[in-house]
A and B are shown apart, each in its own frame.
Chain A
Amino acid sequence: MLWAGIGVDNLIDMRALLDGVSIFEVSLWLSGLLLVLVLIGVRVAFAAAFIGFVGLCAFFMQRQGFDQGLVTAAKLAGQVPHSKATQYALSLIPTFILIGYLAYFAGLTTALFEAAKRWVGWVPGGLGVATVFATAGFAAVSGASVATSAVFARIAIPEMLREGYDKRFAAGVVAAGGTLASLIPPSAILVIYAIIVEQSVGKLLLAGFLPGLVSALIYGALVMGLARLRPTLGPPVGGFTWGQRLSALPGALPILLVVFIIVYSIYFGWATPTEAGALGAGVVLTMALWKGMRWRDLQGALMEAAKLTVMIFAMIWGVLIYVRFLGFAKLPDAFAEFITGLDMGPYQILLLILLVYVVLGMFMDAIGMLILTLPITFPAVMALNGAEAGGVGALGMTNEEAAIWFGIIVVKMAELCLITPPIGLNCFVVAGVAQDAKMDISVQDVFRGASPFFVADVATVAVLIAFPGIVLWLPGLVG
């Protein structure tokens, strides 16, 4: 043994030192410390792995003394990365990421915006509505909100400014439109949720489809409403003939093809989600090659896709080391017991949990926040529903349904935070792109422009809570 011979046992008797210490209390302290580490800027994946490892050390040193406890903890933690990161279900994450990086080279973004503009430009705030639908369409090939906002800031904002749109309004629409990527398949964040809470990846992806569509419609309605109330915000852009409208469609078709492949394959069990993602990537890649993408471009896209993939996988196994310790400390069980013991109705408690997410989301990255908190909040929500096998629980659904439904709600909440100050990343990205292109738009402008969409998102969440059928209908059909 590498470390068993250190002989620290001769110096300190850890068993005596830790005797009578409650590992549960240790887990509370360590979870607090994890928050501190994250706050002072330690990389989230490694902060979680560190705390998990220290916790495992405490647990095993209490039983086996320092030397052997250290070895056991390292071995247990060491099993996690390989065994958790090489599960087949996770293999679709890089395919989705690659689709996103290739989509630009396939020329899909301008084609989409052009088509949306010709079809819906004539309504009040027409270019804003077009942006919403174009971002929703692009979301279908890109699971990344921030990238979606970045791309459309470049395409849609200059055009809106040319047509005399209010700059805050224009920037806000783009920042908010980017958040649609999180629900419309393929969505990387939903896959991560499915893995962490051990639910069917396919069902979650299907579940995101209608809520994503509802979000887009609510956004579109909001833009029209605002532009109707204050026509100076954004005038309609009309004058397109049916011929022009029809001719704009072929460029946007690959998007429909990708959505169709992914939803159809999963829905009919024609291919696994990974295969569907790969087929989607194949379509976009073919398109990109046809448009003249070079080897250098592909290499760049692969490097970026590899980076984002390893970042996400590190978060997953890092947090799962922490989760392994939490399991020994029984912290999730205790939290679930505490939640169900509260003297409040299930929806009140759910609302409280969601509020905590809004606050956390103001300061944390969406994926980081979800991965860090789900191990504790998810079992609590399941306990809150508390359905017997096959039965319906306090939230009016089976446990599997509740798991899917909560996933969609919580991802929507996490995305909401991309447009809230102080660190709403989408807003910074839009402002960054705008400043780079010498447009006079500050971060504050974007935040103010995006604020009505925050209200719309809250309304969307309320609708999804009131009508869970919107979430559960499509996955329910698969059985």
Chain B
Amino acid sequence: MATTSNVLTDDSSVSRADRALLHVEKALNLAAGITIFALVLLAISNVLLRKLLNAPVPGYIDWTEQFMAVFAFLGLAYVQREGGHIRMDLLVGNLKGRLLWLFEFLSVIFMWVVVTALIYGTWFHFDRSFDFSAPNWSTDSSIDIALPLWPAKLAVPVALTILWLRLAVQIWAYGRGLVQGGDRIVAVPLPEDPAEQASKEAAAVGALGGDRRG
């Protein structure tokens, strides 16, 4: 599941857009990873402080739920860029050239439509909990220590907007592939056969190459 796909680059504008966006996506995904790490540290401190000093971290669950908004959403676009979101490639795995780009194009269009709707819907969800005139700009708050909820809710439309941009780049790239034809187009993850996928999967957990520690 944790494959890193091969995305070709050249000096066309679509490829430049791809790489520009990739900087943002990587940073967001790393932020998500660091938040997971922070969650682990927070949970460990909570147990230890509770058991040893009988003084748990105040608002532990509230903080955890705020963290979750970060790692549940910020990596969305990066994973799409790498071709990681789970799908069945029984059909597309056997297609080539224009026909493949057609299916990929359609597939991304479907995503783009629903992501557009969700940006509106999740923005509205955020907007209801946000008010400039309220204390902490917030109209609702978490149960225990009353953290404002709007920052976590805002993370969703923000992440979806980056994903929306990523999908726009992919629509552009697949559209270009449809027009130009050929098997190797830039700015989108190219299909891999299961063996290639498997090797990458294995590499992701360090099972390949210099087996220094394993």
A binds B: yes
Residue ranges of A at the interface with B (Cβ–Cβ < 8 Å): 2-3, 37-47, 49-50, 53, 73-79, 81-83, 85-88, 90-91, 94-95, 97-98, 100-101, 104-107, 109-110, 144, 146-147, 150-151, 153-155, 270-271, 274-275, 277-279, 281-282, 285, 291-293, 299, 302-311, 313-315, 317, 363-365, 367-368, 422-423, 425, 428-433, 435-437, 443
Q: Beyond the given A44-B85, A147-B207, could you list 6 further A-B residue pairs with CB under 8 A, ordered by the A residue number?
A: A41-B92, A49-B114, A53-B118, A82-B122, A310-B29, A310-B79
**Complex contact B198–A47 (CB within 8 A):** no
Q: Known: A43-B87, A302-B34, A304-B2. Contact between A95 and B43, CB under 8 A?
A: yes
Determine which residue in A78, A433, A437 has the highest number of CB atoms from chain B within 10 A of its CB, and name it.
A78
**How many whole Å from B115's CB to the nearest CB in chain A?**
7
List residues of chain B with CB within 8 A of the CB of A368.
86-88
**How many whole Å from A323's CB to the nearest CB in chain B?**
15
List residues of chain A with CB within 8 A of the CB of B135.
none
Residue B124 interfacial (CB < 8 Å): yes
The residue in chain A whose Cβ has the minimal distance to the Cβ of B69 is A86
Q: Known: A275-B43, A278-B39. Contact between A39 and B88, CB under 8 A?
A: yes
List residues of chain A with CB within 8 A of the CB of B196.
432
User: In the complex, what distance in Å separates the CA atom of A281 from the CA atom of B44?
Assistant: 9
Residue B74 interfacial (CB < 8 Å): yes
**Complex contact A3–B198 (CB within 8 A):** no
User: In the complex, what distance in Å separates the CA atom of A315 from the CA atom of B86?
Assistant: 8
Residue ranges of B at the interface with A (Cβ–Cβ < 8 Å): 1-2, 29-30, 32-34, 36-37, 39-44, 46-47, 51, 61, 64-69, 71-76, 78-80, 82, 84-92, 103-104, 106-107, 110-111, 113-115, 117-118, 120-126, 152-153, 156, 194-199, 201-202, 204-208, 211, 213-214
**Complex contact A41–B207 (CB within 8 A):** no
User: In the complex, what distance in Å separates the CA atom of A189 from the CA atom of B43?
Assistant: 21
Q: Known: A40-B91, A50-B113. Contact between A306 and B33, CB under 8 A?
A: yes
**Complex contact A94–B71 (CB within 8 A):** yes
List residues of chain A with CB within 8 A of the CB of B117.
53, 73-74, 77-78
User: In the complex, what distance in Å separates the CA atom of A260 from the CA atom of B32?
Assistant: 29
List residues of chain A with CB within 8 A of the CB of B153.
82
List residues of chain A with CB within 8 A of the CB of B104.
41
